[in-house]
Amino acid sequence: MSNEIEVKGATKLFDDTRAISNLNFSSVKGINIILGPNGAGKSTLLRCIDGLYKLDNGSVRVRGSDPYVDDKVRKEMSYLSDNYALYDYLDVKSNIIFFGRIYGMKDYEIMEKAKGILAELNATQYINSKIYALSRGTKQKISLCRALINDPQILLLDEPTAFLDANSSDSIRRIMQRFGKEKRTVILVTQKLDEVTRFNCRVSIINKGVIVKDSSTTGLYSTILKDSFVNIRLGKPVGHDIVKKTPGFISSNDKAATMLKIKVDSYKDINKAVEYLIGKNAFIISIDYIEPLIESLSW
Amino acid sequence: MQLDKSYAIAVKDIKEVFSSISIYGPMIGVPIFFSILLPFLTFYVTIYEGPSIAARITQLHFIPSGLTGLGSLSFMTYFSVSIMGPIFLTMPILTATVIAADSFAGEKERKTAEALLSTPIKTSELLYGKILASFIPTMILTMVVFGIYGVITDILSASAFKLAILPTLPWLMMIASSPLLAIAAIGVVVLISSHVKGVKESQQISTLLILPVLVMPFISVLGIAALTFYFFLYLIIFLAVLDTVIIYVGIKSFRKESII
């Protein structure tokens, strides 16, 4: 099958508000990122793909079936949002066993699978803890375990790292990367450019309920880096007369600079600045681009 | 429909309700307290307050037959069945409402429905599981409460009149109507679950069902209708039809996205 997910002319209204409007989207095997600002229709699209919402117009097909009508489609599909959606007064084990049973699994199969996932997420020790007693990051790890218990071939992720620390976020990204390598279909919706640039994959830009651009992570850099700024941190101070001649120089933190800000139009400009500074015997510790707000980018 | 999925939902919901004392404490404690207290009240009224009540009641135009022999066995029987009985009939409604509202509107309020509905569960399996989760604890509690009330009443009547007064046929018919009242309450929760925002709203609307039940003692005392075997037989037939309609409309009108 060429495309696991096909969305054609999809429109979803909430009263008079069009969350998505005549939207078209086809998934590819591996990681698919849908990037867009708040209110662009990302979550609504994902929920329509998962069959949680009925479309007002158009169609969604997952493996050829309408997910709103055909519940069996979700047997090999999972959905994880930034909201952990677990039963607070039950313990981790009861939560996972409950969801496993709904997928038609036996209890011993569920526990065997859960132990493997929890070990990968470094969360095995919480198996008998009540959900309300866990930290936000741990809850999200348990929720990911819940979403992976059925070994899904299609994984739908709605800002899964939104409230997580770096370690927990990395756990989720590692699993996404593994799924991508195994040629499963992963759809990640996010509004964070930083999140997108951690993957090398297809990126679809959504705005005002419509997919406005289909690109890739590398293709996205040319848009992100246009008219943006980069901070270069230096190991030891460099004289102002050298620093001010750096290509794209905007400002520095002192006359004897240890941090300078440059303006770039593409990643090539970063190389030029770095080459110049190295040529002047400067020691570079880090290069950070100042991430633009997604709302400020024009597609 | 796979019943094991419905069973899994019922088990999960029951576990959830009984994992929080703030939900199950009042739900169990209050009915059991009343099932112990009210037989003593009945006994006290029968033995000690009979004459003064009689003086007031004889001024009424319609005097139910049970009230003619105040201080007697027939009065205690009448008071136990026709006055106190309907109070216990509110138990299946209240208990079913608390559990069903927590089960349906609670998923929405705690934002857990999203994960549940992203599994391959059918709407019918979901509803059946949740109805079961509300019905089973309700019926167990109702039977326990009627049982405690019956046993204590019999002990007291036996001590005064050397005769156990319960069960009577109307009393048994009253108990027989309780599952149908519970189903009606659950059906109303299903019906309104698409339109409410949270548990409290759902409970407040559903508990309106207890009003007709609370009218029963008054219609008995005022002589409008006697709570006899036939009264409860007609009530059961009426509730069976009502339940069928409510559950049918509730299931047909239920949209899974309404609890997200």
As a whole number of angstroms, the distance between CA B54 and CA B69 comes to: 9
Q: How many CB atoms lie within 10 A of CB A87?
A: 24
pLDDT of amino acid A256: 82
Q: Which chain B residues touch A102 with a CB distance below 8 Å?
A: 5, 8-9, 116, 119-121
Residue B117 Cα, gap to closest chain A Cα (Å): 7
Q: Does A102 sit within 8 Å of B121, measured CB to CB?
A: yes
Q: Which pLDDT band holds residue A227 (cuts at 50, 70, 90)?
A: confident
pLDDT of amino acid A103: 95
Q: Does B4 sit within 8 Å of A101, measured CB to CB?
A: yes
Return the exposure string of A244-276: e unless at least 16 CB atoms fall within 10 Å of the residue's CB, then b.
eebbbbeebeeeebbbbbbebeeeebbeebbeb
CATH number for the domain spanning A255: value is: 3.30.70.1560
Q: Are residues A241 and A199 in the same domain?
A: no
Percent of chain B with pLDDT over 90: 45
**Pairing relationship of beta strands A185-190 and A154-158 according to DSSP bridges:** parallel
Q: What is the DSSP letter of B228?
A: -
Q: Are residues A121 and A10 in the same domain?
A: yes
Q: Are residues A240 and A217 in the same domain?
A: no
pLDDT, chain A, mean: 90
Closest partner residue to A90 (CB to CB) among B19, B115, B119 is B19
pLDDT of amino acid B77: 86
Is residue A298 scored above 70 in pLDDT? no
pLDDT of amino acid A288: 86
As a whole number of angstroms, the distance between CA A283 and CA A258 comes to: 10
DSSP, collapsed to helix, strand or coil, labels residue A186 as strand
**B23 with B102: CB under 8 angstroms?**
yes
**Pairing relationship of beta strands A202-207 and A210-216 according to DSSP bridges:** antiparallel
Q: Are residues A142 and A43 in the same domain?
A: yes
Q: Are residues A257 and A199 in the same domain?
A: no
Q: Does B257 sit within 8 Å of A54, measured CB to CB?
A: yes
pLDDT of amino acid A79: 95
pLDDT tens track for A89-104: 999 999 999 999 999 9
Q: Are residues A161 and A236 in the same domain?
A: no
Q: Are residues A41 and A189 in the same domain?
A: yes
Among A159, A190, A223, give the residue marking a domain's end.
Answer: A223
Q: Are residues A193 and A236 in the same domain?
A: no
Residues 6 or more apart in contact with residue A89 via CB below 8 angstroms: A130, A131, A132, B16, B19, B20
- For Cα atoms A259, A265, A268, give the angle at the middle one, nearest 5 degrees: 80
- Which of A75, A89, A146, A155 has the most B C-beta neighbours within 10 Å, making it the best mutation to test the interface with B? A89
Q: Are residues A136 and A258 in the same domain?
A: no
Is residue B64 scored above 60 in pLDDT? no
pLDDT of amino acid A88: 93
Q: Which chain B residues touch A90 with a CB distance below 8 Å?
A: 12, 15-16, 19
Q: Which chain B residues touch A94 with a CB distance below 8 Å?
A: 12, 15
Does ipTM exceed 0.85? no
Among A206, A223, A240, give the residue marking a domain's end.
Answer: A223
pLDDT tens track for A12-47: 999 889 999 999 999 999 999 999 998 999 999 999
Closest partner residue to B121 (CB to CB) among A71, A79, A83 is A71
Highest mean pLDDT among A106-110, A165-169, A256-260: A106-110
Q: Which residues of B touch A (CB under 8 A)?
A: 2, 4-5, 8-9, 11-12, 15-16, 19-20, 110-122, 255-257, 260
Q: Does B111 sit within 8 Å of A87, measured CB to CB?
A: no
Residue B129 Cα, gap to closest chain A Cα (Å): 11
pLDDT of amino acid A131: 95
Q: Which chain B residues touch A98 with a CB distance below 8 Å?
A: 8, 11-12
Is residue B87 scored above 80 in pLDDT? yes
Among A223, A238, A263, give the residue marking a domain's end.
Answer: A223
Residue B85 Cα, gap to closest chain A Cα (Å): 35
Cis peptide, bond prior to residue B212, ω within 30 of zero: no
pLDDT of amino acid B53: 66
Residue type, A104: G
Residue A102 Cα, gap to closest chain B Cα (Å): 5
Taking CA–CA distances from B3, the nearest residue in chain A reads A102
pLDDT of amino acid B208: 84
Is residue B215 scored above 60 in pLDDT? yes
Is residue A266 scored above 90 in pLDDT? no
Listed by start position, the domains of chain B span: 3-259
C-alpha of A231 from chain center = 24
Q: Which chain B residues touch A151 with a CB distance below 8 Å?
A: none
pLDDT tens track for B30-60: 899 999 999 998 888 888 776 566 556 555 5
Residue B128 Cα, gap to closest chain A Cα (Å): 14
Number of domain units in chain A:
2
pLDDT tens track for A179-192: 999 999 999 999 98
The predicted model gives B81-95 an average pLDDT of 91
Residues 6 or more apart in contact with residue B180 via CB below 8 angstroms: B236, B239, B240, B242, B243
Q: Which chain A residues touch B117 with a CB distance below 8 Å?
A: 52
Q: Are residues A194 and A243 in the same domain?
A: no
pLDDT of amino acid B63: 52
pLDDT of amino acid B68: 54
Whole-angstrom CA distances from A99 to A85, A246, B155 are: 12, 58, 49
Taking CA–CA distances from A78, the nearest residue in chain B reads B118
Residue B6 Cα, gap to closest chain A Cα (Å): 9
Is residue A299 scored above 80 in pLDDT? no
Q: Which pLDDT band holds residue B66 (cuts at 50, 70, 90)?
A: low
Q: Are residues A255 and A201 in the same domain?
A: no
Size of interface A-B (CB pairs under 8 A): 75
Q: Which residues of chain A form beta strands (DSSP E)?
A: 5-14, 17-26, 30-35, 57-62, 77-81, 154-158, 185-190, 202-207, 210-216, 228-238, 249-252, 257-264, 284-289
φ, ψ for residue B56, nearest 5 deg: -80, -40
Q: Which chain A residues touch B15 with a CB distance below 8 Å?
A: 90, 94
pLDDT tens track for B5-37: 999 999 999 998 888 787 788 889 989 999 999
Is residue A267 scored above 90 in pLDDT? no
pLDDT of amino acid B60: 52
Structural domain for A124, as ranges: 5-223
Q: Are residues A183 and A280 in the same domain?
A: no
Is residue A1 scored above 60 in pLDDT? no
- Which of B2, B9, B119, B254 has the most A C-beta neighbours within 10 Å, making it the best mutation to test the interface with A? B119
As a whole number of angstroms, the distance between CA A201 and CA A211 comes to: 17
pLDDT of amino acid B69: 53
